[in-house]
A and B are shown apart, each in its own frame.
Chain A
């Protein structure tokens, strides 16, 4: 409990005097302070939810909830347990995350950034809004394994949280909707767009010759052997635009037979069998292992998959089907591609003080 008292000082800067605290949910607080999320150069306009405007107080509440194990069934795991900032907000290099009962899942923890431009969440897209997504791991029996009424009761019992819900939402009532909104607000400020690559696009940095060659390969289309055209890695079809994802669900040739049917589980359509969300490649240097099941440990293994390991199936992406046995890149080209991918690392994002654990600072 010491953390809750020590952090009162940290948050006191934002505190606005209100009626005398009697612990009642009817206590009224001033309106929260609007938070302006600055747009990034070359990025789409902000795409924020109309029903949950960002506020300083809402973000701070979400930050506390994100890092607080109080949301798990036995108060041992927080959201941050599987989303560590040092790993691009993924799970510490683990293939699968371990829940509070020791069970492991079957999907690799996903990074958390630029979520405002997503329209489906999880590897299989089963959640259509960030606000609905954030509650699911809390109640998932193989993750945080909590029941929301219990979490609500625990939060409501703490003056620390009553006050912060009051500042964020106008009164001290704690409910699932407010938990979701606060977490959503905190996650929406996880914006990553200041990598070396980004700086190079605006003339503030210069890619090395290897990185530049990798970028050229990244943007160049695949050319069939014998076509007489130069080689290309054809990455941009799925990982194009400034977001480095097309936000689609595609089959990238990992398997011919699927133990995990992915997007089909959501849509029920056989044409979606074995399809998974195309992840952004930003910060990919930090987010190993790779793919929905974390089967590849290194970026070199990932590149080799696309180079020579594509497995055919009826739902394989057409762009990959037309590549036949693979890209046919030579060792130098593969190394250049990896060098470019590492320019997408954004240390200003992973080290952003606003995203760190408030109970440790």
Chain B
């Protein structure tokens, strides 16, 4: 998974980027990908499943590998940014300790014992009024805030584990289609019901992922 800003390279740390409303920098992005499906020739979807926690602050592959996919020809792919409802509300202590949803791996993404996982975190700094630096912290979760990413029309002849590449563009996250102006009252969200910041970013998130191809 590659991170971009307005289709250019995104660097974590001190580098500033212009969202159109604020200058921002990024310190942490983490999110879950789950529920991979491939579209078969007859139009039905082959469920692959699985959960992946993508952690920006760690050096890692730009591509996600999905194993155990039946060989065959497919012409579409889709998955969720987030966690399916059943897994979202299961006891995190029941997963194996090395599973992305376990307390030990996904503990940083779990809200409590009942309400489920943070699907995506985007954290960093912004220029506050008067030029001072302040922090933003956007955490999207809740079952209805999952985002389905779908790409159709690419023929995939699968003979080996599938490596999927998508770009996550952070300028879109802040501005497409809704421009989020960051001020103290909009500098964080934890996806409470009725939280307009969460609604804005959820809509933007659906426009923030683009297909970057596959490697087999």
Binding site for B on A (CB under 8 A): 42-45, 47, 117, 119, 201, 219, 221-222, 224-227, 229, 236, 240-243, 246-248, 271, 312, 314, 316, 318-324
| Contact A318 B123, beta carbon cutoff 8 Å | yes
Q: A316-B135, A322-B187 are in contact. Are A229 and B107 (CB under 8 A)?
A: no
Q: Give the chain A neighbours of B203 by CB distance below 8 A.
A: none
Chain B proximity of A220: nearest CB distance (Å): 9
Q: In the bound complex, how far is the Cα of B139 from the Cα of A219, in angstroms?
A: 14
Q: Give the chain B neighbours of A321 by CB distance below 8 A.
A: 125, 134-137
| Contact A247 B113, beta carbon cutoff 8 Å | no
Out of A44, A226, A243, A322, which one reaches B135, CB within 8 Å? A322
* B97 interface residue (CB < 8 Å to A): yes
Q: In the bound complex, how far is the Cα of B184 from the Cα of A226, in angstroms?
A: 9
Q: Give the chain B neighbours of A240 by CB distance below 8 A.
A: 107, 110-112
Q: In the bound complex, how far is the Cα of B92 from the Cα of A221, in angstroms?
A: 20
Interface pairs (14), CB distance under 8 Å = A43-B93, A43-B103, A45-B96, A240-B111, A241-B103, A241-B110, A246-B108, A247-B107, A318-B27, A319-B123, A319-B135, A319-B137, A319-B188, A322-B134
| Contact B92 A224, beta carbon cutoff 8 Å | no
In the complex, chain B residues 13-53 whose Cβ is within 8 Å of any chain A Cβ: 13-14, 27-28
| Contact B104 A242, beta carbon cutoff 8 Å | no
Q: A221-B192, A243-B103 are in contact. Are A320 and B97 (CB under 8 A)?
A: no
- Please give 11 more A-B residue pairs, beta carbons under 8 A apart, in addition to A229-B195, A240-B111, A242-B113: A45-B93, A47-B104, A222-B188, A224-B184, A242-B93, A316-B135, A318-B28, A322-B134, A322-B136, A322-B187, A323-B135
* B124 interface residue (CB < 8 Å to A): yes
* B185 interface residue (CB < 8 Å to A): yes
Q: A42-B91, A242-B103 are in contact. Are A229 and B192 (CB under 8 A)?
A: yes
Binding site for A on B (CB under 8 A): 13-14, 27-28, 91-93, 96-97, 102-104, 107-108, 110-113, 123-125, 133-137, 139, 184-188, 190, 192, 195
Q: In the bound complex, how far is the Cα of B25 from the Cα of A321, in angstroms?
A: 13
| Contact B134 A221, beta carbon cutoff 8 Å | no
Q: Give the chain B neighbours of A319 by CB distance below 8 A.
A: 123, 135, 137, 188
Q: In the bound complex, how far is the Cα of B14 from the Cα of A314, in angstroms?
A: 9
Q: In the bound complex, how far is the Cα of B121 from the Cα of A221, in angstroms?
A: 14
Q: Give the chain A neighbours of B195 by CB distance below 8 A.
A: 229
Q: In the bound complex, how far is the Cα of B91 from the Cα of A229, in angstroms?
A: 28
Name which of A42, A221, A236 has the most chain B CB atoms within 10 A of its CB. A221
Q: A229-B195, A320-B135 are in contact. Are A241 and B92 (CB under 8 A)?
A: yes
Chain A proximity of B135: nearest CB distance (Å): 2
Q: Which 9 A-B pairs have the closest CB atoms?
A: A321-B135, A318-B123, A221-B190, A322-B188, A322-B137, A241-B107, A322-B135, A44-B103, A246-B108
Q: Give the chain B neighbours of A43 by CB distance below 8 A.
A: 93, 103
| Contact B113 A45, beta carbon cutoff 8 Å | no
Q: Give the chain A neighbours of B13 by CB distance below 8 A.
A: 271
Q: In the bound complex, how far is the Cα of B192 from the Cα of A322, in angstroms?
A: 16
Q: In the bound complex, how far is the Cα of B186 from the Cα of A47, in angstroms?
A: 40
| Contact A201 B135, beta carbon cutoff 8 Å | no
Q: Give the chain B neighbours of A47 by CB distance below 8 A.
A: 97, 104
Q: A224-B184, A271-B13, A319-B123 are in contact. Are A44 and B137 (CB under 8 A)?
A: no
Q: Which residue of B lies closest to A222 (CB)?
A: B188
Q: Which residue of A lies closest to B194 (CB)?
A: A229
Chain B proximity of A256: nearest CB distance (Å): 13
Q: In the bound complex, how far is the Cα of B92 from the Cα of A316, in angstroms?
A: 28
| Contact A224 B187, beta carbon cutoff 8 Å | yes
| Contact A247 B104, beta carbon cutoff 8 Å | yes
Q: In the bound complex, how far is the Cα of B101 from the Cα of A44, in angstroms?
A: 11
| Contact B107 A246, beta carbon cutoff 8 Å | yes
Out of B93, B104, B192, which one reaches A42, CB within 8 Å? B93
Q: In the bound complex, how far is the Cα of B99 from the Cα of A32, in angstroms?
A: 32
Q: Which residue of B lies closest to A314 (CB)?
A: B14
Out of B104, B113, B124, B139, which one reaches A44, CB within 8 Å? B104
Chain B proximity of A64: nearest CB distance (Å): 30
Q: In the bound complex, how far is the Cα of B105 from the Cα of A44, in angstroms?
A: 11
Q: Give the chain B neighbours of A242 by CB distance below 8 A.
A: 93, 103, 113
| Contact A224 B185, beta carbon cutoff 8 Å | yes
Name which of B96, B107, B112, B124 has the most chain A CB atoms within 10 A of its CB. B107
Q: In the bound complex, how far is the Cα of B141 from the Cα of A236, in angstroms?
A: 15
Q: Which residue of A lies closest to B192 (CB)?
A: A229
| Contact A44 B102, beta carbon cutoff 8 Å | yes
Q: Give the chain B neighbours of A201 by CB distance below 8 A.
A: 113
| Contact B184 A324, beta carbon cutoff 8 Å | yes
